[in-house]
Amino acid sequence: MTFVDNRAVITGIGQSQIGRRIGRTGIDLALEAAETAVQHSGLSFDDIDGVASYPGPVAAEGGFVGATTHDVRDAFGLRTRWHASSVETSGQAGTLMDAAMAVATGRATHVLCFRSVWEATAQASGRAAALTGKAQRASGHGEFRMPFGAASPANWIGMYAQRYMHDFGLTREQIGKLVINARANAGRNPNAIYRKPMTMEEYLGARLISWPLGLYDCDVPCDGATALIVSRREDSAGLAKPPISLESAGSALYERHSWDQRADLTTMAAHDAAAAMWQGTRLTPADVDFATLYDGFSYLCAQWIEALGFCEHGKVGQFLDAPENYCQDGRLPINPHGGQLSAGRLHGYGFLHEACLQLWDEAGERQLPKDVATAAVGIGGGPEAGCLLLHRAE
Amino acid sequence: MPHQSGRILPEVTEESRPFWTGGFDNALRIHRCRSCGKWFHPPVGACFRCRSRDVGPEQTSGRARVAAYTVNHHPWFEAFPPPYVIAAVELEEQPDVRLTTCLVDCEVEQVQVGMAVEVAFDLQDDVALPFFRPVTA
């Protein structure tokens, strides 16, 4: 079973200005990223007949929803045959996978997919409702967490990390090596938020947020938008770039959408999605040249490493012990751009952008020092997970 | 113990009312399937295992064990001055049924996976929050 009959490809990428408190709206950033991606692909806006985004117009504050699908299609006056957004999907890349389905089934030809955030500016300007600021009641998933002071994903993910550390001996120092490597990579990324190298002392000495997670285990809010063009393969010939194939994708969720009821607390939905992704391809983890893995919290990146089969279940600590495995010139470089931990919370799409940038040999100073043709991208945490295997044909 | 003011209380639904109000009778009520006999949480009108609609709340022993925990150090809520312990506890009746809760009456250093705990209701307005505390022999 191949993903959308191998009919979907990525033909262009774009990113807006990225920074902390740059004072621009999420819509403005989304438009910049969209324009950049369309130009990058060699298409024009007249060719764009589909738009997809995450998360759509959900109730959220503090710059989480930078722009909706309609915001962007209306701003550019796009005549679309298909458009969608969803938060009830397989992580931030869920609707991008839907876009691949749309082009494969003829519902669109070239789909503009994007994610925009302006959390740094919005929070600085007081748009974020402080968690403590409202006396409203907690509903939905929050109903069973907020009354107990479990307000933040740092709490929910901290519990997963604690149980994994308990069962398998993973240490904060081992996770720290991953965080420090991300920071070293960010030093080669001119758009990264934090670029100064980090020492283990700094990592371990940072204030705790929700033990075992400290400040540097949490990503950094930023302003920025990312866009990708997903095209139907037969309509991608002659464009600016050799198309990047969506070789496989995983969107599986085999248990309830819950942060605390998963049968095995040492795994996450990433394990379901990754297993499904490998079922759709003849490639194996050994064929992957590099990976861009969600690190909204450091432990999530560690989960993706084992979920995708780059180490055995329970053995991620040993994997992390040897940074030469995953550093920039290692066997399996991870997050060459610095990830969300150091390059900023572009919320999922940053990993797709970096994967394509590397596959097209456009990563500048941080271009990996080897030929790269196949990338694994894992996005999401807890019950939210989607992953893709990208391949650039010669 | 958390402060008494500045909390976020749950929005009680028809499904969750037995869970949130059982503590007024000193009862931890969890949904259970009358067809396959398994417990589940959060409460909803079907058993996710056997898909029976014949489900409803039943009283549990109120005893559980810590499955995972985190020590929160960030001041998210005025009502919860850090540090405090958030835990996923698994029910004695059925260990794969977990409640996210706040551990009270215990030292942070004391907490460990497998630690036996029991429910300690915290009455707030129209709800009784099931916190947990270590079982003292």
pLDDT for the residue numbered A339: 98
In a domain? residue A137: no
Sign of the alpha-carbon torsion through A292, A295, A298, A303? negative
Which of A143, A265, A267 to mutate to test binding with chain B, by most B CBs within 10 Å of its CB? A143
pLDDT tens across A182-199, in order?
Answer: 999 999 999 999 999 999
> Could you give the CA distance from residue A268 to residue A379 in angstroms, rounded to a whole number?
12
Question: Binning pLDDT at 50, 70 and 90, where does residue A61 land?
Answer: confident
- DSSP per-residue letters across A129-142: PPTTS--PPB-GGG
CATH code for the domain of A105 = 3.40.47.10
Point out the residue among B2, B8, B70 whose CB comes nearest to the CB of A138.
B8
Dump pLDDT digits (tens) for A3-41. 999 999 999 999 999 999 999 999 999 999 999 999 999
Best A254, A260, A266 member to test B by mutation, with max B CBs in 10 Å, is: A260
Please give the model's pTM, rounded to 2 decimal places.
0.97
**Which of A131, A139, A145 is the closest to B100 by Cβ?**
A145
Nearest to A118 by CA among A292, A338, A347: A347
**Tens digit of pLDDT per residue, chain B (137 long)?**
556 667 899 999 999 999 999 999 999 999 999 999 999 999 999 999 999 999 999 999 999 999 999 999 999 988 899 999 999 999 999 999 999 999 999 999 999 999 999 999 999 999 999 999 999 86
* Cross-chain Cβ contact A207/B73 below 8 Å: yes
- Alpha-carbon gap, residue A227 to A206, rounded angstroms: 34
Tokens of B58: 């039943």
Contacts with A264 from chain B: Cβ below 8 Å:
none
* Residue A331: inside a domain: yes
Looking at residue B5, its pLDDT comes to: 67
| pLDDT recorded at residue A141 | 83
Structure confidence at residue A335 as a pLDDT band (50, 70, 90): very high
Residue-wise pLDDT tens digits, A91-144: 999 999 999 999 999 999 999 999 999 999 988 876 445 444 455 899 988 999
Which chain A residue is nearest to residue B108, measuring alpha carbons? A211
Helix (H, G, I), strand (E, B) or coil at B82: coil
Domain span holding position A245: 7-125+220-392
Is the ipTM higher than 0.90? The answer is yes
Tokens of A296: 């909204």
Q: What is the pLDDT of residues A145-162, one digit of tens each?
A: 999 999 999 999 999 999
Strand partners, A244: A10, A392
A254 contact B CB<8A = no
Burial class (CB in 10 A: 0-12, 13-18, 19+), B22: buried
Tokens at residue A309, please? 């089969």
Mean pLDDT for A241-250 is: 97
Measured CA to CA, the distance from residue A354 to residue A185 in angstroms comes to 12
pLDDT at residue A133, rounded to an integer: 47
Of B11, B84, B97, the CB nearest to A138: B11
Tokens of B29: 């009520």
Signed CA dihedral, A265, A270, A275, A276: sign only? positive
Domain count, chain A: 1
Nearest residue of chain B to residue A211 (CA atoms): B71
Residue A273 falls within a domain, yes or no?
A: yes
| pLDDT above 60 (res A318) | yes
The answer to whether residue A141 sits within a structural domain is no
Residue B39, helix vs strand vs coil: strand
**For residues A289-296, average pLDDT:** 98
Which chain A residue's Cα is nearest to B80? Answer: A149
What's the confidence (pLDDT) of residue B78?
87
Q: Rounded mean pLDDT of A35-60?
A: 96
Residue B136 distance to chain A (closest CA, Å) = 22
Kindly identify which residue of chain A lies nearest to residue B78, measuring between CA atoms.
Answer: A132
Give the separation between CA A138 and CA B67, rounded to whole angstroms: 24
